[in-house]
Amino acid sequence: MWSADEIAELCYLHYRTRLPKQGKPDPDREWTSLAAVVKVESSTQREVLASPGNLQVTKEVVAMGTGTKCIGQNKMRKTGDILNDSHAEIVAKRSFQRYLLHQMWLAASHQQCSIFIPGTETGKWKLKPNTIFVFFSSHTPCGDASIIPISEPENQLSKPVTGDDAAGQSERRSNHDHLGPEDKRKSEKTASNHIIKRMKTDDDGYFSVIPEDLTVQQVSVKREDDTNPKSCECSADMQTANKETGLGRPKVVDVYRTGAKCVPGELGDARIPGLGYHCVGLLRVKPGRGDRTCSMSCSDKLARWNVLGCQGALLMHFLQYPVYLSAIVVGKCPYSQEAMRRAIVERCQHISFLPDGFVPQEVKLLQSDLRFEHSRQAIQEVQTNSKTKLVPCSAAISWSAVPEQPLDVTSDGFRQGTTKKRIGSHQSRSKICKVELFHTFQKLVTSISQEDLPDTLRMKTLETYWDYKEAALNYQEAWKVLRSQALLGWVKNATEYLHFT
Catalogue the active-site residues. Answer: 89
CA dihedral 25, 27, 28, 29 (to 10 degrees): 40
3-state secondary structure 162-222: CHHHHHHCCCCCCCCCCCCHHHHHHHCCCCCCCCCCCCCCCCCCCECCCCCCCCCCCEEEC
3-state secondary structure 69-114: EECCHHHCCCCCCCCCEEEHHHHHHHHHHHHHHHHHHHHHCCCCCC
Neighbours of 362 (CB within 10 A): 12
Task: Please choose, from the candidates 408, 398, 280, the residue with its C-alpha nearest in 3D space to the C-alpha of residue 347.
Answer: 280
Non-local CB neighbours of 318 within 8 Å, separated by 6+ positions: 104, 108, 123, 124, 125, 444, 454
Non-local CB neighbours of 132 within 8 Å, separated by 6+ positions: 39, 40, 45, 48, 49, 326, 327
Calpha distance 486→469 (Å, rounded): 21
Where would I find the H helices in 319-375?
337-344
Structural contact between residues 164 and 259, judged by C-beta atoms closer than 8 angstroms: yes
